[in-house]
Amino acid sequence: MNGQLSRRQFLEFSAATGAFVLASSQGPLWAQERIAIPEAERIIVTVITDNLADATRPDVKIAKRPAGAVSVLDGAMHAEHGLAYYVETVVGGQSHVLLFDFGTQISGVLRNIDLLKLDLRKVEALALSHDHWDHEAALVELMKAKRTDFRQDLPLYIGEEFFVGTYSKRPNGQIQTLSVVPRQDIEALGLVKIVEGKTPTPIVPGAYFTGRVERVTDYEVIAPNFVAKRGDQYVQEQFLGEQALLLHAKGKGLVILSACAHRGIVNTLKHAQKITGINRIHAIIGGFHLTGAKPEVIAKTVADVKAMNPEYIIPTHCTGFEAITAFAREMPDQFILNTAGTKYFIEA
C-alpha cells in the first residue's frame, strides 16, 4: 500500500502502543493513564502559511526556508493572519501525512501549497485545532479546489464543542462571530468524516491530539473578550476543545505544535508532559496567543518555557512581537524566527 497503513491497521497500531483510557469515569477528563506516542524516526513540519513572510531569511538549525524560483515574484510566499501546517511522520519506516489547520485566504494557501510542492495525495487525516476563522476559513475551498487530490472519507479530527460557536465581544459591546465554517458546509463536501474527541486522540501514527488541556498556571488567563453563547446568554469562553498536536521524535523528546494556545502555552506543555510521561521537549512550534499580553505575563511565560529547556522554540502566528522578541532575547540559542513556507526537519 505504498508504505501506508489501512485505517484498521492504524487503530490496531494505536491500541498496541498505548491509547489512553480514563482513570475514573467520574474524574476530570485529564485524569488519564499515560498515552504512548510511537517514536518517529523522522518528522517534517511544513508551515504552509503564517503571519510573516521573508524571502531573504536564511536556513538555520532545523529550519529550511523555501527555495527560490527563477523569478523572484513567482516564488514569493503568501503570508496572512492565519496558520496551517503540513506534517509528516516516519514511524517504523512508513511515512504518514496530515494537515493541521488551514489558514484564511484560499488563494494564498493554494499558492503556497503549489510553491512548496506539497503532495496532498499523501494526506491521511485532517485536523482542526479550534473553531476560529484564522485556522479554518480556507478548509472548504481547499477541499473543493483539490478534490481530485484528496482521498475519499478522510477523517477530520476536532475537539469538543467545536461547532457550538465562539465569539468576540468588541469594546463597543458588539458581539462578533469568530466561527466561519458551518458543519453542514464541511459535510456537504462528501469527502470527510468528522471525528470529535474530548480526550487524547491518535491522528496518524506518531501524532496525537492533546485532548482537553488542564489549566494549572495562575497567570494564563483567557481574555474576557472571548465569549461563548449558552442559551440566550454570552459567557466567558473556556476553549475546552482547543487542540495542540503532539509528536515524539525518536531519541529527542516531544515536538509540540500549537495553534493559538488559548488555554496557555505553558499549560499545554505541562499537559503534554503529564499525559505522555515525557519531560524532555525537543521543539515547540506555534502560536502562543500573547499578542497584547501584559509584560509580566510574557515574562512569566518565557521564564517557565525556558525552565523546560526545549532544544528549539519557534513562536508563530498570534504570539505577538513583544513575546517573540522576549523569547529571542532570553533563549537565543534555541530561538528560530518562523516564516511562511519554512520546513522543520527533525531526524533520529
Residue 253 located in a structural domain: no
Residue 15 is predicted with a pLDDT of: 43
Residue 274 located in a structural domain: no
Please report the DSSP string for 54-95 in residue order. Answer: -TTPPPBTTEEPPPP-SSTTTTPPP--S--EEEEEEEETTEE
Check pLDDT > 90 for residue 114: yes
Residue 187 located in a structural domain: yes
Q: Find the domain containing 37 and state its range.
A: 7-243+339-347
Query: How many domains, the chain?
Result: 1
Question: Distance between CA 288 and CA 263 in Å, rounded?
Answer: 9
Residue 267 located in a structural domain: no
Buried b (16+ CB within 10 A) or exposed e, 87-111: bbbbbeebbbbbbbbbbbbbebbbb
Check pLDDT > 70 for residue 16: no
**Residue type at 338 in one-letter notation:** N
Mean pLDDT for the chain? 92
| pLDDT tier for residue 32 given thresholds of 50, 70 and 90 | low
Query: What's CA 250's distance to the chain center, in Å?
Result: 20
Residue 11 located in a structural domain: yes
Say how many residues make up the chain.
Answer: 348
Give the HSE-up count for residue 217: Cα atoms under 13 Å, Cβ half-sphere. 21
Question: Distance between CA 40 and CA 347 in Å, rounded?
Answer: 8
Strands 63-64 and 84-91: unpaired
Residues 17-36, mean pLDDT to the nearest whole number: 52
Residues 65-77, mean pLDDT to the nearest whole number: 81
| pLDDT tier for residue 28 given thresholds of 50, 70 and 90 | low
Instruction: Specify the residue for cell string 503549489.
Output: 114
Residue 71 is predicted with a pLDDT of: 74
Residue 202 is predicted with a pLDDT of: 98
Q: What is the DSSP letter of 118?
A: -
Continuous segment of H or E residues that includes residue 193: strand 192-197
To the question of pTM greater than 0.85 for the whole model, the response is yes
With a CB cutoff of 8 Å and minimum separation 6, the contacts of 313 are 283, 284, 305, 327, 331, 334, 335, 336
Residue 113 located in a structural domain: yes
- Taking CA 71 as the corner, what is the angle to CA 68 and CA 77, rounded to the nearest 5 degrees? 55
Residue 75 is predicted with a pLDDT of: 87
The residue among 262, 269, 255, 266 whose CA lies nearest residue 318 is: 262
161-201 confidence digits (pLDDT tens): 999 999 999 999 899 999 999 999 999 999 999 999 999 99
Question: Distance between CA 96 and CA 206 in Å, rounded?
Answer: 8
Question: Distance between CA 337 and CA 264 in Å, rounded?
Answer: 20
Residue 294 located in a structural domain: no
Contact criterion met (CB below 8 Å) for 89 and 95? yes
Please report the DSSP string for 323-343 in residue order. Answer: HHHHHHHH-TTTB----TT-E
Residue 312 located in a structural domain: no
Question: Distance between CA 39 and CA 140 in Å, rounded?
Answer: 32
Buried b (16+ CB within 10 A) or exposed e, 114-138: ebbebebebbbbbbbbbbbbbbbbb
User: Domain with 71 in it: what CATH number?
Assistant: 3.60.15.10
